């Protein structure tokens, strides 16, 4: 079944090296050729205003889908509005990471991704709630959250900037003490970082959760424990080739809810956005809560 009406939520600043006018033209030509009615809403950077405008359009126009045209932030904006609703989300990836779309095998080339929208195959996935906030891909505490915080404050964008911040921070970063309590096991000790996700890989292609299934009603607590600095390259290699679960410094707990004690008030991030840090991070699963257009 082909969609008849689409709302394209377009981030005009996603993808530094992408011609936004060309993307708009591609969308227009494609939708015209396929006789799909569409509207484009350009995000303003004011999240509350954007949310209000998108919700009003959905209420007034009843589109068959809302398509996030941008990076992880745009995907998160749209997904958070559609969790628990029957209307599906499409993704046209324009960002530097595009983590969720990669995990769902959505093509990273816009024309190919448009054909996925046209085919309108729907998959229902689980989402998470972290300290009361929705998470559709990966949240974490510790080293990566620090890097995400640095990255959001850096004037540069893209994977090069992310990698440079990672290298700068790694030498001086000290793992912290955590206690994790879940409905299926516990962990207490020093960790480099702890991720909470039911997906697989960051947008950087580093696979933090090799065995995660995005719609099985469970999520994973993925713990990279303290390791000697000289083993950092080996840890990175395992993340990039997808076998971090073979490392002696890695532990995983599969569960439906978890509470992470954070006595050092380490930074926390959700889907690429830092959030207010707290002494406890509570996570639980929302099974079958988001519909997404997939290949």
Domain ranges of the chain: 5-119, 133-288
**The pLDDT of residue 224:** 97
Q: What confidence score (pLDDT) does residue 168 get?
A: 72
| pLDDT tens digits, one per residue of 233-262 | 999 999 999 999 999 999 999 999 999 999
Non-local CB neighbours of 259 within 8 Å, separated by 6+ positions: 180, 181, 182, 280, 281, 282, 283
Contact 74, 14 (CB under 8 A): yes
Q: b or e along 99-117 (b: 16 or more beta carbons within 10 Å of the residue's beta carbon)?
A: bbbbbbebbeebeebbebb
Q: Which helix (H) or strand (E) holds 166?
A: helix 158-170
- Residue listed under structure tokens 């309590």: 181
CA 291 to chain centre: 15
Note the pTM of the prediction, 2 decimals: 0.89
Residue 83 tokens read as 């969790």
Rounded CA-CA distance 182/11 in Å is 37
CATH homologous superfamily of 5-119: Probable inorganic polyphosphate/atp-NAD kinase; domain 1 (3.40.50.10330)
pLDDT value at residue 126: 97
Question: In 104-157, which residue ranges form alpha helices assigned H by DSSP?
Answer: 110-119, 143-153
Phi, psi for 138 (deg, rounded to 5): -140, 135
Tokens 């793992």 correspond to what residue? 175
Q: Which fold has domain 133-288?
A: Tumour Suppressor Smad4 (2.60.200)
3-class DSSP state for residue 251? strand
Q: In CATH terms, are 5-119 and 133-288 the same topology? A: no
Question: Which residues, given as ranges, of the chain have pLDDT below 70?
Answer: 14-18, 151-165, 167
Q: Which residues contact 73 (CB under 8 A, 6 or more apart)?
A: 11, 14, 95, 271, 272, 273
For residue 41, give every residue at least 6 positions away whose Cβ sits within 8 Å of its Cβ, in sequence order, or none. Answer: 7, 8, 9, 10, 50, 53, 54, 57
What angle separates helix 143-153 from helix 158-170, to the nearest 10 degrees?
130
pLDDT score for 158: 57
pLDDT, residue 116, reads 96
Cα separation of 156 and 73, whole Å?
16
| Residue 165 confidence (pLDDT) | 64
Is the Cβ–Cβ distance between 192 and 142 less than 8 Å? yes
Angle between helices 72-82 and 47-61 (to 10 degrees): 50
From residue 40, how far is each of 30, 96, 118, 207 by CA, in Å? 14, 21, 16, 33
**Backbone φ, ψ for residue 76 (5° rounding):** -65, -40
């Amino acid at each position: 079944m082909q969609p008849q009406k689409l709302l394209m939520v377009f981030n005009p600043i996603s993808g530094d090296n992408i011609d936004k006018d060309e993307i708009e033209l591609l969308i227009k030509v494609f939708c015209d050729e396929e006789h799909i009615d569409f509207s484009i809403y350009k995000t303003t950077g004011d999240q509350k205003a954007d949310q209000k405008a998108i919700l009003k359009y959905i209420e007034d126009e009843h589109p068959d889908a809302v398509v996030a045209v941008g990076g992880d932030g745009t995907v998160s904006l749209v997904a958070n509005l559609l969790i628990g609703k029957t209307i599906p989300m499409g993704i046209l990836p324009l960002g530097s990471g595009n983590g969720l779309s990669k995990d769902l095998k959505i093509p990273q080339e816009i024309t190919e991704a448009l054909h996925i929208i046209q085919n309108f195959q729907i998959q229902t996935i689980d989402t998470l709630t972290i300290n009361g906030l929705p998470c559709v891909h990966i949240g974490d505490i510790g080293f990566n959250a620090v890097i995400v915080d640095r990255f959001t404050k850096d004037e540069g964008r893209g994977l090069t900037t992310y990698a440079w911040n990672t290298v700068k921070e790694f030498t001086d970063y000290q793992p912290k003490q955590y206690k994790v309590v879940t409905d299926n096991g516990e962990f207490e000790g020093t960790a480099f970082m702890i991720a909470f996700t039911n997906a697989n890989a960051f947008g950087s292609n580093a696979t933090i959760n090799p065995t995660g299934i995005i719609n099985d009603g469970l999520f994973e607590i993925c713990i990279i424990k303290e390791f000697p600095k000289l083993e950092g390259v080996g840890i990175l290699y395992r993340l990039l080739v997808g076998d971090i679960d073979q490392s002696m410094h890695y532990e995983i707990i599969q569960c439906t809810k978890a509470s992470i004690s954070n006595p050092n008030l380490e930074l926390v991030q959700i889907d690429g956005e830092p959030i207010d840090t707290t002494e406890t991070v509570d996570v639980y699963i929302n099974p079958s809560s988001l519909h997404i257009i997939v290949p």
